[in-house]
């Protein structure tokens, strides 16, 4: 069969269904995916040496004839494979550990290229577990893949080795590379002095030098950013030119009453954000705005103002929260505000039909309910509820990056009506300006910078190992003297909240109970608990049945426990600064002084310096910018749910590269917004749009 770039990877010779399944775990489905699976580093085996000249400690490649190969059993019963390799200058021994099969694969007389480190073994120099490659007569002149050069090393998954991947990638390079088309316009390739795409793909796998590899990577990362920015430009253009929505307005009188009935005055930032939102809502183009503000900065009341505007304009408003606990919390807050205006709020949780939810009168006719405006709060379950209102004017999404894949698709479906609801997304993840202007160029952003007055910044200390005991004693006393409460946050052991993490947090909980705070009541909260168990633990904590809550970081963002004034974060070095800042935001929610203690595992002075930034800086976006430069965007957004498109090579922190890509996008779209003159590019952008919708 004829392989094309779109062929499923299983049709590549020596792949097959089972290996294809493993490749899928690496995100490789097609021949093209395999072709563009980028190595994460290279082993330098380019130093070729005659056997007699090898030096202890050096990494070299030698080529020789296998004189002998056999299994060897050591005095303590370990099985080794030993071999002797000979060239014109001399011979050297090779030892392989745990690779018994080699005696079946290799035999005396084979010509072998061997790369690895040479070391003393007793009185002799040997290669220990080197990589090897049998040099076949017929492949002479073709060059080696695994030895004697810069050798690509790929991220592997169980059952797939770099060596195997190298072989398959070499195959598709030979057979399919020529059909790759360059969708980056010629003039940009010329003006940006980029490598040809086919050369770049070939070189990124099998470079002749590190400089070559760098040039290939530069070309490929340029392309990633170029496409990313172009897509975000395109989204905004489509949004602005093809979507319609109902203009929503609120009368001055009603908004004044809204402000008057609040138990506080709006901060300047809140007023600005509301004004920006009202201006968006009044247009016949759907709003697509991000409301960014630290935990506790008062985003909910801003959302409430927008929802009231929707209601006053005879449309319904929906607020989506990522968890039941947060939905409940929003429901309570919004009810308090809306009731003053004679509006009742409905809560929809998983498993409940809207007509079973609170506040809805069962005798109301269904059509009537669809026609009259409503205010709904719920989790994603709401999106699939039966009798949703017909005229949805506004959707507010809290912490969208925490939404799973399917929910986002549901959200999209809901918005594909003749009138698109205006959309407001709230997030506590601070987005550094550099990112906001590039990747999120299709969003408008409002920021709540200052917390409502009355909050004192959380006093923060990085606690060295030797002060840990004293810190515990201080906490114990503080809990006793001021009747306040504490969070103790343990890190995730692995990315998802696996059983391993649960086990770790549970054993820390046992240790604290037994050895550290025997006199305090301690609760435990982790993401693997059932949702009603979580709710129960939190409500017990709020009612002060516990002094201390031991939790994993998935303890819900936005949880409001006013009497918690101390937060301890274990292994703080494992978190990004923004994430620590968000965790710390769970205290300092009342006028009492609050404290954040950062415990670290090691004594690395660099780690301490990084964490010390939290002692002096209490501003989310500044910390985010720091994170971005220190650790990159993956850290900032959490590796799994960062919501950033799949960049494999490019770094958003590479400001110069982002600027180059941006300049090129402006150049092209300024002249040709439809990309009519660039059919390959047009097709690629359409293609990647489909990818986004699928995900």
- Binding residues vs ligand ADP (CB under 6 A): 264, 266-267, 270, 293, 295-301, 452, 558
Residue closer to Mg ion by CB (options 430, 558) is 558
Residue closer to ligand ADP by CB (options 175, 259) is 259
Would you say 419 and 244 are in contact if contact means Cβ atoms under 8 Å apart?
yes
As measured in angstroms, the least distance from the Cβ of 388 to Mg ion is 23
Q: Mask 503-542, x = binds Mg ion (CB under 5 A)?
A: ----------------------------------------
Would you say 522 and 509 are in contact if contact means Cβ atoms under 8 Å apart?
yes
Q: How many helices (H) and strands (E) does the chain have?
A: 23, 21
Would you say 375 and 346 are in contact if contact means Cβ atoms under 8 Å apart?
yes
Rounded Cα distance between 218 and 204, Å, is 10
Of the listed pieces 187-195, 203-211, 558-566, 592-600, which binds Mg ion according to CB under 5 A? 558-566
Which one of Mg ion, ligand ADP, none interacts with residue 301, CB within 5 to 8 A by kind? Answer: ligand ADP
Rounded Cα distance between 222 and 537, Å, is 49
Residue at token pair 């809550």: 549
* Cβ neighbourhood burial of 18 (10 Å; 0-12, 13-18, 19+): exposed
Residue closer to Mg ion by CB (options 234, 294) is 294
What single DSSP character describes residue 639? Answer: S
As measured in angstroms, the least distance from the Cβ of 478 to ligand ADP is 23
Which one of Mg ion, ligand ADP, none interacts with residue 297, CB within 5 to 8 A by kind? Answer: ligand ADP
As measured in angstroms, the least distance from the Cβ of 78 to ligand ADP is 59
Which one of Mg ion, ligand ADP, none interacts with residue 267, CB within 5 to 8 A by kind? Answer: ligand ADP
Closest CA to 291 of 173, 421, 430: 430
Rounded Cα distance between 571 and 569, Å, is 7
Residue closer to ligand ADP by CB (options 296, 389) is 296
Which one of Mg ion, ligand ADP, none interacts with residue 270, CB within 5 to 8 A by kind? Answer: ligand ADP
As measured in angstroms, the least distance from the Cβ of 589 to Mg ion is 11
As measured in angstroms, the least distance from the Cβ of 590 to ligand ADP is 9
As measured in angstroms, the least distance from the Cβ of 584 to ligand ADP is 13
Would you say 303 and 331 are in contact if contact means Cβ atoms under 8 Å apart?
no
Residue closer to ligand ADP by CB (options 449, 459) is 449
Residues whose CB falls within 8 Å of the CB of residue 498, separated by 6 or more in sequence, listed in order: none
As measured in angstroms, the least distance from the Cβ of 365 to ligand ADP is 35
As measured in angstroms, the least distance from the Cβ of 255 to ligand ADP is 15
Residue closer to ligand ADP by CB (options 333, 407) is 333
DSSP secondary structure, 221-257, as one string: HHHHHHHHHHHHHHHHHHHHHH---------HHHHHH
Would you say 33 and 26 are in contact if contact means Cβ atoms under 8 Å apart?
no
What single DSSP character describes residue 351? Answer: T
Would you say 635 and 430 are in contact if contact means Cβ atoms under 8 Å apart?
no
Of the listed pieces 204-212, 554-562, 581-589, 607-615, which binds Mg ion according to CB under 5 A? 554-562
As measured in angstroms, the least distance from the Cβ of 560 to Mg ion is 8
Would you say 598 and 590 are in contact if contact means Cβ atoms under 8 Å apart?
no
Q: How many CB atoms lie within 10 A of CB 70?
A: 11
Residue closer to ligand ADP by CB (options 262, 471) is 262
Residue closer to ligand ADP by CB (options 129, 271) is 271
Which one of ligand ADP, Mg ion, none interacts with residue 593, CB within 5 to 8 A by kind? Answer: none
As measured in angstroms, the least distance from the Cβ of 299 to ligand ADP is 3
Residue closer to ligand ADP by CB (options 152, 558) is 558
322 binds Mg ion (CB under 5 A): no
Which one of Mg ion, ligand ADP, none interacts with residue 614, CB within 5 to 8 A by kind? Answer: none
Residues whose CB falls within 8 Å of the CB of residue 193, separated by 6 or more in sequence, listed in order: none
Would you say 548 and 523 are in contact if contact means Cβ atoms under 8 Å apart?
yes
As measured in angstroms, the least distance from the Cβ of 299 to Mg ion is 5
Helix, strand, coil percentages, rounded to 5, for the chain = 45, 20, 40
* Cβ neighbourhood burial of 622 (10 Å; 0-12, 13-18, 19+): middle
Closest CA to 183 of 681, 561, 691, 516: 681
The residue number with the shortest CB distance to Mg ion is 558
Distances from the Cα of 243 to the Cαs of 310, 319, 421, in angstroms? 18, 21, 10
Q: Measure the CA dihedral 352/355/360/364, to 10°.
A: 180
Size of the site for Mg ion (CB under 5 A): 1
As measured in angstroms, the least distance from the Cβ of 168 to ligand ADP is 49
Q: Which two tokens stand for residue 483?
A: 């009747």
585 binds Mg ion (CB under 5 A): no
Q: How many CB atoms lie within 10 A of CB 106?
A: 18
3-state secondary structure of 270: helix
Residue closer to ligand ADP by CB (options 245, 297) is 297
Would you say 657 and 651 are in contact if contact means Cβ atoms under 8 Å apart?
yes
As measured in angstroms, the least distance from the Cβ of 639 to ligand ADP is 24
As measured in angstroms, the least distance from the Cβ of 308 to Mg ion is 18
Which one of Mg ion, ligand ADP, none interacts with residue 264, CB within 5 to 8 A by kind? Answer: ligand ADP
Which one of ligand ADP, Mg ion, none interacts with residue 316, CB within 5 to 8 A by kind? Answer: none
Rounded Cα distance between 612 and 605, Å, is 10
Q: Enumerate residues 204-243 that contact Mg ion by CB under 5 A.
A: none
Residue closer to ligand ADP by CB (options 266, 649) is 266
Residue closer to ligand ADP by CB (options 330, 408) is 330
Closest CA to 420 of 278, 232, 302, 281: 281
Q: Enumerate residues 6-45 that contact Mg ion by CB under 5 A.
A: none
The residue number with the shortest CB distance to ligand ADP is 298
The residues that bridge with 63 in the sheet, in sequence order, are 113
As measured in angstroms, the least distance from the Cβ of 620 to ligand ADP is 11
Residue closer to ligand ADP by CB (options 299, 534) is 299
Would you say 509 and 568 are in contact if contact means Cβ atoms under 8 Å apart?
no
As measured in angstroms, the least distance from the Cβ of 379 to ligand ADP is 16
Residue at token pair 């770039």: 5
Residues whose CB falls within 8 Å of the CB of residue 489, separated by 6 or more in sequence, listed in order: 551, 552, 553, 555, 567, 568, 569, 570, 583
Residue closer to ligand ADP by CB (options 64, 293) is 293
558 binds Mg ion (CB under 5 A): yes
Which one of Mg ion, ligand ADP, none interacts with residue 266, CB within 5 to 8 A by kind? Answer: ligand ADP
DSSP E strands, 235-385 = 288-293, 316-320, 345-348, 375-378
Which one of ligand ADP, Mg ion, none interacts with residue 408, CB within 5 to 8 A by kind? Answer: none
Residue closer to ligand ADP by CB (options 270, 354) is 270
Which one of ligand ADP, Mg ion, none interacts with residue 391, CB within 5 to 8 A by kind? Answer: none
Residue closer to ligand ADP by CB (options 28, 295) is 295
Site for Mg ion, rule CB under 5 A: 558
């Amino acid at each position: 069969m004829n392989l094309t770039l779109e062929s499923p990877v299983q049709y590549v010779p020596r792949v097959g269904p089972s290996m294809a399944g493993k490749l899928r775990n690496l995100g490789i489905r097609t021949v093209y995916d395999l072709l563009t699976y980028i190595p994460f580093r290279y082993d330098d085996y380019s130093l070729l040496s005659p056997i007699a000249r090898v030096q202890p400690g050096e990494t070299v490649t030698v080529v020789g004839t296998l004189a002998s190969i056999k299994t060897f059993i050591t005095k303590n019963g370990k099985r080794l494979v030993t071999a002797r390799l000979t060239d014109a200058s001399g011979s050297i021994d090779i030892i392989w550990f745990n690779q018994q099969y080699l005696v079946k694969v290799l035999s005396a007389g084979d010509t072998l290229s061997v790369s690895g480190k040479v070391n003393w073994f007793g009185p002799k120099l040997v290669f220990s577990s080197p990589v090897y490659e049998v040099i076949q007569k017929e492949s002479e002149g073709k060059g080696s893949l695994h030895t004697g050069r810069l050798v690509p090393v790929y991220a592997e998954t169980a059952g797939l080795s770099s060596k195997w991947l190298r072989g398959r990638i070499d195959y598709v390079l030979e057979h399919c590379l020529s059909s790759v088309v360059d969708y980056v316009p010629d003039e940009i390739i010329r003006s940006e002095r980029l490598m040809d795409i086919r050369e770049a793909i070939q070189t990124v796998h099998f470079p002749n030098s590190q400089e070559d590899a760098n040039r290939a990577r530069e070309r490929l990362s340029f392309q990633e950013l170029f496409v990313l920015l172009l897509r975000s430009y395109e989204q905004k253009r489509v949004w602005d030119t093809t979507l319609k929505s109902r203009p929503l307005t609120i009368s001055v009188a009603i908004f004044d009453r809204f402000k008057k009935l609040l138990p506080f005055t709006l901060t300047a930032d809140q007023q600005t954000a509301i004004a920006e939102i009202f201006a968006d809502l009044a247009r016949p183009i759907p709003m697509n705005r991000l409301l960014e503000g630290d935990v506790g900065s008062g985003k909910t009341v801003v959302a409430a103002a927008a929802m009231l505007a929707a209601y006053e304009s005879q449309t319904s408003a929906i607020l989506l929260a990522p968890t039941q606990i947060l939905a409940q919390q929003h429901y309570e807050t919004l009810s308090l505000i809306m009731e003053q205006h004679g509006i009742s709020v409905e809560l929809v949780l998983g498993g409940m039909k809207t007509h079973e939810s609170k506040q809805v009168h069962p005798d109301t006719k269904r059509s009537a309910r669809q026609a009259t405006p409503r205010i709904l709060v719920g989790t994603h379950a709401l999106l699939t509820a039966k009798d949703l209102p017909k005229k949805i004017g506004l959707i507010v999404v809290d912490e969208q990056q925490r939404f799973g894949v399917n929910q986002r698709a549901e959200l999209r479906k809901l918005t594909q009506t003749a009138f698109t609801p205006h959309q407001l997304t709230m997030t506590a993840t601070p987005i550094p300006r550099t990112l906001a202007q590039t990747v999120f160029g299709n969003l408008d952003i409002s920021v709540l910078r200052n917390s409502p007055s009355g909050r004192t910044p959380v006093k923060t200390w990085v606690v060295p190992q030797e002060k840990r005991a004293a810190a515990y004693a201080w906490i114990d006393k503080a809990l006793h003297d001021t009747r306040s409460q504490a969070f103790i946050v343990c890190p995730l052991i692995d990315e998802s909240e696996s059983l391993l993490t649960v086990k770790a947090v549970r054993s820390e909980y046992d240790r604290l109970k037994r050895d550290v705070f025997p006199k305090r009541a301690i609760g435990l909260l982790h993401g693997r608990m059932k949702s009603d168990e979580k709710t129960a633990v939190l409500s017990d904590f709020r009612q002060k049945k516990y002094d201390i809550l031991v939790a994993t970081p998935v303890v819900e963002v936005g949880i409001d426990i006013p009497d918690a004034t101390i937060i301890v974060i274990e292994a703080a070095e494992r978190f990004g600064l923004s994430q620590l800042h968000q965790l710390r935001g769970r205290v300092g929610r009342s006028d009492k002084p609050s404290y954040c203690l950062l415990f670290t595992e090691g004594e690395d002075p660099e780690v301490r310096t990084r964490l010390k930034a939290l002692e002096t800086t209490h501003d989310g976006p500044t910390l985010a910018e720091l994170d971005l430069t220190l650790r990159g965007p993956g850290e900032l957004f959490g590796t799994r749910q960062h919501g950033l498109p799949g960049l494999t090579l490019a770094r958003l922190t590479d400001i110069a590269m982002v600027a180059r890509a941006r300049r090129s996008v402006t150049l092209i779209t300024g002249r040709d917004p439809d990309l009519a003159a660039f059919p390959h590019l047009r097709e690629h952008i359409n293609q990647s749009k489909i990818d986004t919708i699928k995900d």
